[in-house]
A = this chain, B = another copy of it.
């Protein structure tokens, strides 16, 4: 007998009750950035603990210097994997409140088109609706089978929207308790309405600020121009030297640890239909600026970058001043992929810069954080199983994607728990998270529950 079919049936039958439960959570104003709502945040944590206890989890509210964590444990059959599920119960503020069509904390079902319903309210997509898809999958499984298919630990955070100040210390202090075989992180989206996505690559980041110093004072460009070093000229030369004419980064050793993306992955990305036009058109551009001969998805998901985030020097007000500045500076960030070592990149960059500083000038470096890329192996068995499970549920097969940005919790799981993450979520680009009129597709909520049931089933086979 199939173990999954009755669970899916149960989820279908329970949809209305699961919505009632979600609405209960959505009504709690757990805005983490505003201390006026601290009690609401605790209330949301307590609500979740109570609900998880009903399913049979050993759940508790865990205090931190900020908003509490929710930690819950449930055993699984001997020999089954141990997964950690992560989500967050805190939400963004609701300002500007006057732009909301409905009370952000009075969730409702809204029919926006034929056979098209959405759940409205703050947190519906980010992240209460998403985390409850997993809770509902566990509930249905328990109801049908009397147990869960594997050992599950749940971690719900209450500070994700306010920079997660308590997360690292909490992971460090509770590493033994929280460490699992891998993590399931549910805070991302679908590729599109019909295509589920698993994000397995997140770029790392190295930030640097450099200040080039020349004369010990600002100079008159008439009296000194042509004789005195100009720090803007030196800085421009350094920045210009970082990319060659093919968009390749020229810093020696920069590409150490960068791997070529497997051709079948590249091919799967091609099928997504994202082109330079579709990706860059909406922001008024059309030509990819990175390494030539690579698609925009590869450039943003699987290739490292050097970007200049800010530059300043000399006179920048209205009009003109014939000055040669004493110094000029730039903020520069490198997005890293695969096994690039952030501190090696930082050292190589500094050497590259120093080699371009004239003997009578100097440079000061100011570091701005560093984190390695996260890359799950494309041939991980967990990934293959999760992809198949998602593909069974949705109209189109699941795609393996990357993300150009960083999701800090994934790096923290890697660092403090030595554990990889699969990022699976059911949000859509138009969910308006962080904005007025946030919504979550009813389909996302329903098929999201079914997806998790399928994934849990697949992971334990």
How far is it, in angstroms, between the C-alpha of A325 and the C-alpha of B330 when the chains are bound? Answer: 13
How far is it, in angstroms, between the C-alpha of A333 and the C-alpha of B361 when the chains are bound? Answer: 22
How far is it, in angstroms, between the C-alpha of A339 and the C-alpha of B230 when the chains are bound? Answer: 25
Which residues on the B side are within 8 Å of A217 (C-beta)?
283-284
Would you call A220 an interface residue if the criterion is a C-beta within 8 Å of the partner chain's C-beta atoms? yes
Which residues on the B side are within 8 Å of A405 (C-beta)?
220, 222-223, 322
SS class, residues of chain A in contact with chain B: mixed
Cβ A240 vs Cβ B243 within 8 A:
no
Q: Which of B215, B220, B228, B316 contacts A311 (CB 8 A)?
A: B316
Cβ B221 vs Cβ A309 within 8 A:
yes
Cβ B290 vs Cβ A226 within 8 A:
yes
Which residues on the B side are within 8 Å of A205 (C-beta)?
222, 322
Cβ B308 vs Cβ A227 within 8 A:
no
Would you call A395 an interface residue if the criterion is a C-beta within 8 Å of the partner chain's C-beta atoms? no
Cβ A230 vs Cβ B310 within 8 A:
no
Would you call A20 an interface residue if the criterion is a C-beta within 8 Å of the partner chain's C-beta atoms? no
Would you call A125 an interface residue if the criterion is a C-beta within 8 Å of the partner chain's C-beta atoms? no
The residue in chain B whose Cβ has the minimal distance to the Cβ of A321 is B309
- CB proximity of A392 to chain B, nearest CB, Å: 30
- CB proximity of A361 to chain B, nearest CB, Å: 8
Q: Which of B236, B369, B406 contacts A240 (CB 8 A)?
A: B236
Cβ B307 vs Cβ A225 within 8 A:
yes
Q: Mask for A263-279, Cβ within 8 A of B = 1, else 0?
A: 00000000000001001
Q: Mask for A326-339, Cβ within 8 A of B = 1, else 0?
A: 00101101010000
Q: Mask for A349-364, Cβ within 8 A of B = 1, else 0?
A: 0000000001111000
Check A222/B335 contact, CB under 8 A, given A237-B240, A279-B227. Answer: yes
Which residues on the B side are within 8 Å of A325 (C-beta)?
309-310
Would you call A36 an interface residue if the criterion is a C-beta within 8 Å of the partner chain's C-beta atoms? no
Most buried by B among A209, A279, A405: A405
Check A285/B320 contact, CB under 8 A, given A223-B404, A299-B227. Answer: no
Cβ B309 vs Cβ A311 within 8 A:
no
Would you call A232 an interface residue if the criterion is a C-beta within 8 Å of the partner chain's C-beta atoms? yes
Cβ B236 vs Cβ A308 within 8 A:
yes
Which residues on the B side are within 8 Å of A214 (C-beta)?
285
Cβ B308 vs Cβ A358 within 8 A:
no
The residue in chain B whose Cβ has the minimal distance to the Cβ of A328 is B311
Check A309/B323 contact, CB under 8 A, given A221-B335, A226-B404. Answer: yes
Which residues on the B side are within 8 Å of A310 (C-beta)?
232, 313-316, 321, 323, 325
Would you call A29 an interface residue if the criterion is a C-beta within 8 Å of the partner chain's C-beta atoms? no
Cβ A230 vs Cβ B315 within 8 A:
no
How far is it, in angstroms, between the C-alpha of A323 and the C-alpha of B304 when the chains are bound? Answer: 16
Q: Which of B215, B235, B276, B316 contacts A285 (CB 8 A)?
A: B215
Which residues on the B side are within 8 Å of A404 (C-beta)?
220, 222-226
How far is it, in angstroms, between the C-alpha of A361 and the C-alpha of B284 when the chains are bound? Answer: 9
Cβ A312 vs Cβ B309 within 8 A:
no
The residue in chain B whose Cβ has the minimal distance to the Cβ of A337 is B226
Would you call A347 an interface residue if the criterion is a C-beta within 8 Å of the partner chain's C-beta atoms? no
Cβ B303 vs Cβ A331 within 8 A:
no
Which residues on the B side are within 8 Å of A228 (C-beta)?
280, 283, 285, 289
A129-158, CB < 8 A from B? none
Would you call A300 an interface residue if the criterion is a C-beta within 8 Å of the partner chain's C-beta atoms? yes
Which residues on the B side are within 8 Å of A358 (C-beta)?
287, 289
Would you call A258 an interface residue if the criterion is a C-beta within 8 Å of the partner chain's C-beta atoms? no
Most buried by B among A226, A232, A236, A276: A226
Would you call A296 an interface residue if the criterion is a C-beta within 8 Å of the partner chain's C-beta atoms? yes
Between-chain CB contacts (< 8 Å), 11 pairs: A215-B283, A220-B405, A224-B283, A224-B300, A227-B300, A232-B330, A233-B239, A309-B321, A310-B323, A311-B311, A311-B328
Which A residues have a C-beta under 8 Å from some C-beta of B?
203, 205, 207, 209, 214-217, 219-230, 232-233, 235-237, 239-241, 243, 276, 279-280, 283-291, 296, 299-300, 303-305, 307-316, 319-325, 328, 330-331, 333, 335, 358-361, 368-369, 403-406
What would 12 more interface pairs be, CB under 8 Å, given A309-B320, A311-B312, A320-B331? A207-B322, A215-B285, A217-B283, A220-B404, A221-B335, A222-B403, A223-B404, A227-B299, A229-B285, A307-B324, A312-B312, A322-B333
Task: List the 5 closest pairs (A to B, CB-CB), nearest first.
Answer: A222-B405, A240-B240, A216-B284, A310-B314, A236-B239
